[in-house]
Each structure stands twice: as structure tokens, then as C-alpha cells.
Structure 1
């Protein structure tokens, strides 16, 4: 658990690799400083967790988690998206539920991530694939979709109420009661017959949806934009749960658009449109390194996506988050960038970008979504093989120890 995040001489190594043009397993980047991961108090700086069919458990390293049958990524237990709302981090875990990471100091009484919990509901999650997380009206909202290639859309069983509940495609999370409530059903969209929800995005205060309709001879796709004139989650929840009344169809304003227009709307922006803070944060990354970045801020309703060198092969997947006191970015190889300050702490490295590296994962494993809750960095990991996923989980990192004890 005390494995070092970085090794001495790493900067020299990546400079020589960049100059020679040779490929390396690590992201070629100039580090502003070398940071240590071991704590002088002898306490671990990070803890690993893996997902089970019922929740999550701690493990020493990911490769020692119990083996599971590899499944297509839409059917496997894995983190598919994240959102940050009022300092609390939320991860959407496919087939299980919502992983809630409250903001807390790394010096928690019961250790790193001791306040993290997984909220489950098999009625919603077991038969559908997890989509994206949104922060709408300060409420975590997520969509579900059907992958007809690997799973049947219809829920087994004859209970019509259960089938109706399982047909929900947009769901909100009740933070007080730790429960879920449906917002939209498949029947609320146009072409309600055999149409399946394929993609759903929220961009510039407008929803964009792609529906798929499979016939005997052909498969058609239909794209729409839609909006509501009222507060979204409040209006929908009131209509769906009004006591003694039949739930009414929401007042949604749909406009059919072409599939090409849909693709253009959801297309990631060029890196030149990055917010100034992120540009400064990622300045150490050499310009020849291509990447695809998903950015979340604490007040954002949905992720913003950016790409550098769009048509270059093998772009690095990255995730960026920011709040008023800091900005941070995390790459799939475990490279982490930080600028700013943690709660109740001074500014790190005089405000300049600081970088460190999470422990190297075994071959066949990769990092994915990441966010910061309080002073804890949460990063997802998973075992991958082409289009399939095996073991998966997350690591919780005590950023206080990493960023501040190294300065002493």
C-alpha cells in the first residue's frame, strides 16, 4: 500500500523518450516536481476497492480481486460516468446503482473512503445498461438504455407495474431518502412502439436523444431535441408521483432533427476551446500527444468534451474536474494533474501545475473516470479485453498526504 507513485529520474526518462520518438507505457509529460506517496505517519495513501454483485469490498491490489466472467462492457459491472454536485461525487455503476462519495477529509476516522456508499435498486439497473450522469437542478440524474445486441429489452415477469418501472429511461436520485424516482419513460418519446433509447445528451440547456427502431428488413435511427418550459426534475417528479392521480405525460417540446445534426451537436470541441484554467493545467503535456477529455465542473449540468488532434491514432482518454479552489485532470494511465488548493489548505506549489502518478496497473487493466470529493481522489479501474470487461472497482487516494506532506 505504500508503493511510490513516482520514481526518481522519471522526468529524464520521459524527456529522452519524447526526443527519440519511442513509445512508452506512460503519458509523456514534463512534471513540475516529484512527489512521494508514502506517509511519514506510516498510514497508507491509497486504498483499492473492487465491485461484487452486491456492492464493493477492499482488496490489496486490483489483480488480486476475485476473477469474474468477462462480459461485453454494456453488461459488465463497471463505472460508466461521474458527476460532481455540491462537492459530493457520484459514480454510475452499471448493473448496480449509484456510488456516492461525500466530501470529506482524507483523515477520516475509519480511513480513506469510509463514508462512501453504493445505493442500489435492481428494478432499475439489472436489465438495462448505464448511460450518463447529469446534474440537473442540483439533482443527480442519469439515463438507462438498451443494448439489443447483448440483452433483451423486455423484463422477465408478468407484473405490469414492474415492467412499467423497468421501462424508465431517465431517473433521478433522492439524496435525502437515498432512493430513485423515474423522470421519463420510453413511452414519453416519439416513436414509442419498438424504438429503443440509444443516446441521450444535455448540451446548452437542451436535451438531444437518438432512438433506434429495428425492423425485420432494416434498422432506422431517429434524432430529436427536446426541452421543457418548467423546472425539469421538479415538474417531472410532481407529475409522476402526485398522490391519487394518474401520472400524466410530461410537457416536453420535441423537434425532429437529422442524425447528422445530432452527431454534429454532440461532437467534442477542439482543444483550443478549453477553459483558461484547463489550458494552463495541461500545458506540461507535449503538443504531439493526442487526447480526448471529458470535463466536469461543480456547477456543470453535463460533461463538456474536448479533443486534441482529433484524427490522430490512439488518443489518451482523460477526465478533468474543477471547483473554485482547484482544477485537476486525470489520464487513463494514472497521470494526475492538480493546480490550486484542497479544503482548509494552502495553495500547492505556488499555484503551478503539480503532477504525480497513481500506481501502475497490471497488463490488461486501465483507469477511467475520476473526481475529487473533499480531499479524496476517487478513480475507477477495470480489467479490459477488447469489448469485454472483467474485474472492476475504484481507488481512493488521500490527496492531503500526497500533495502536502511532500512539502514538509
Structure 2
């Protein structure tokens, strides 16, 4: 009996070893596990001490971004506008330059612009002479450079990245120290200039039909009332955005961007029964993207993303990763099935750390 059992044991061990050898032979060498797809990526803005080198550095979360001094939002490096008329769309980065939208697998690269260092960059404008960027100086925090206008409109060439100074206060026969404080479009262009001289502040308002006509000297001086009426914010929306804003149960200030618009539009939503009195509790961004099947999306500062799905004709809701306390989401772009959203640390009217989140939504 012992002999039979021993023989069976040897036979079983032999079969087991051969089976293991067969598995080893069939198993490819250096077999790697399937790559896990990247679904999100965090970046923060950084500058050197001279403010002449700006970059985005990768981190695991906003908490990992090095702490920095809080600065007035006009003086801080942060996303301050969008250019949806370009492909790819562009982020305007205050005190740094211009950042094209990128995929989650690409390395973001800022087109550094020295013109931005000493001024505040605010907004792209779609005009008959090309896309313009407004630069101005917050004279409370930044000195005005001698013999240089504190504000101007620059034409941006997306092919070679060049910036050309096109409009200054002298275009309107104003003193060189006047500030271009506002530029709006409502069937025609409206602009406001602020002049500070000997502790006295004055304003001038103008309208014109096109920049080509303006450069020929064809413009009109208008009253403050006419400018205010032409630049008043939108108080309602026909595409269902009101229903989304109502869910916040707060007063909301939203900025609406589209490649069809000459400028961004400001939407004030009043959630109380009282009329709007200039205060709002949270902010939001609304964007319309033609390249992405005409997607329209709304992002609240808290990270709730609502986007209109063309196939279902319904608004879909998605929650972006929760930010640390006192951080908010701001401007965003949706491209290639992902959202690229700016974020920043806030303290009243000051900004600390800032950066971008790339997050797959499809």
C-alpha cells in the first residue's frame, strides 16, 4: 500500500510541475499591467522673482502648491479671461501671458508676454480688425511708467504670437494718462475712460460702429447714462440657465463666453424677491463651445458643472473635485472630452495660489 501511495504522490507532483512549467512557457516575459487611464491632472502657476519666467507645475492637489503672498487680484498671476474664438481656445493669464488649451496627456506651455508684467490683462475682444486684449494699470498698487499710457488695446496674432499696440487714449484725443476702464459691445462699441489728475477724477464716454472707423477718427462722445444703459448686465436667460442658478438659492454673478460674442456678457441672477442691488454671493462661468457639438456649460465656483447634452437635449450635472477651504473654480474650457478649469485661493479681493485642473468628463 505504501508503495502505491508513494507512486501516486510522485505522479501528482510531476503533473503539477509540468503544468506550472507550461504556464511559465505560455506567459510572455516582461508582461506589464494595463496602463490606468489618467482622468485628472492638477497644476499651479509659478513665477521667478523677476516675474519674467512663468510656468505651470504639476501637483497632486492644490494643497501641495507652495504658499504665496496674497495680492490684489489685479496684481496676481491668475486666469483672467478666455478667448473662445480661437482653436484651440485660449486662457488669458494675468501677469504672465497666453495659454492654449491642452489635453490631459500634454504639457501645458504659457506664451510668456513681457507686456503683461507691469499691467493687468483683462479680456479678449472679437473685432473687425482682429482679436484685441485690454491691458490697464491699477494705479493704487502699480506705478505708471513715465511717458507710457497706463492702458491700451493690443491686437493678438495667434499665428506668430505677436502683440501690436492698436488703441490708446490718444486715439480719442485724451491725455496719455487716461485709463481705458471699460469696453462693451451692444450693436456697436461703447468705451469708458478714467482720468486722474491733481486728485481729481473724471470720466469720458464714447461709442463707435467699428474699430476700422475708429482708427479713421470716426467716433462719438456720449453721456454716462447712454454708456450705462448700453453696458447693463443681463438679468435673464432663455436657455435654462436660470433654472440652474435658482438651485443655488443665492444671488449669482456669471460671466458668459462664446465665440459668437464680441465680448463676454455679465449675467446677474437675483434669487431673492428684492431687486438686484449690486451684491452677489457666488460667481459662475458660462461657456458655449461650437467645436464640441455646440456644448453649453455652466460652472459654479463651488465646482458644480452643468452642461447641455446635445444628444439628449438635457442638462447633465457633474461635480468637480472638492477644493480646499477658501479656494474657488473660475474660468474653464471644455475640449476633447475634458474640462480645463482655473482655480484660485481667495481672501476678499486678493488672490493667493492659483492654477488649473484638467478633468475627464466623458
Report the TM-score when normalising by structure 1: 0.70
**Which has the higher relative contact order, 1 or 2, with Cα contacts under 8 A spaced 6 or more apart?**
1
| Cα shift at 1:284 | 4.4
| Segment drifting more, 74-83 vs 257-266 | 257-266
Q: Do the aligned residues in 1 keep the contact of 2:136 with 2:150 (CA within 8 Å)?
A: no
Distance 1:291 1:82 in 2: 20
CA RMSD of aligned residues (A): 2.6
Q: What is the aligned partner in structure 1 of residue 203 from structure 2?
A: 221
Distance 1:205 1:312 in 2: 25
Q: What is the aligned partner in structure 2 of residue 303 from structure 1?
A: 264
Q: Which secondary structure does the structure 1 equivalent of 2:125 belong to?
A: strand
Match 1:259 to one of 211, 218, 224: 224
Distance 1:379 1:220 in 2: 38
Aligned pairs (5 A) from 1:144-183: 144-154=135-145, 169-183=152-166
| Cα shift at 1:363 | 1.0
Distance 2:360 2:161 in 1: 26
Q: What is the aligned partner in structure 2 of residue 385 from structure 1?
A: 347
Stretches (4+) displaced over 6 A: none
Rg larger in structure: 2
Distance 1:204 1:374, change over 3 A: farther
Q: What is the aligned partner in structure 1 of residue 246 from structure 2?
A: 286
| Cα shift at 1:172 | 2.0
Q: What is the aligned partner in structure 2 of residue 241 from structure 1?
A: none
Gapped runs of 5+ residues in structure 2?
1-33, 48-53, 271-275
Gapped runs of 5+ residues in structure 1?
1-39, 107-111, 156-162, 233-249, 342-346, 401-408
Q: Which secondary structure does the structure 1 equivalent of 2:219 belong to?
A: strand
Q: Do the aligned residues in 2 keep the contact of 1:85 with 1:138 (CA within 8 Å)?
A: no
Aligned length: 314
Report the TM-score when normalising by structure 2: 0.78
Distance 1:115 1:140 in 2: 26
Distance 1:230 1:197, change over 3 A: closer
| Cα shift at 1:193 | 4.1
Aligned pairs (5 A) from 1:7-406: 42-53=36-47, 54-101=54-101, 112=104, 114=106, 116-122=108-114, 124-137=115-128, 139-154=130-145, 169-201=152-184, 203-228=185-210, 230=212, 250-271=215-236, 274=237, 276=238, 278-279=239-240, 283-286=243-246, 288-309=249-270, 310-311=276-277, 314-324=280-290, 325=293, 326-340=295-309, 347=311, 350-400=312-362
Distance 1:284 1:97 in 2: 33
Q: Which secondary structure does the structure 1 equivalent of 2:192 belong to?
A: strand
Q: Which secondary structure does the structure 2 equivalent of 1:359 belong to?
A: coil
| Cα shift at 1:368 | 0.9
Q: Which secondary structure does the structure 2 equivalent of 1:55 belong to?
A: strand
Distance 1:173 1:193, change over 3 A: closer
Distance 1:150 1:113, change over 3 A: farther
| Cα shift at 1:351 | 2.7
Q: Do the aligned residues in 2 keep the contact of 1:134 with 1:140 (CA within 8 Å)?
A: yes
| Cα shift at 1:391 | 0.9
Q: Do the aligned residues in 2 keep the contact of 1:89 with 1:372 (CA within 8 Å)?
A: no
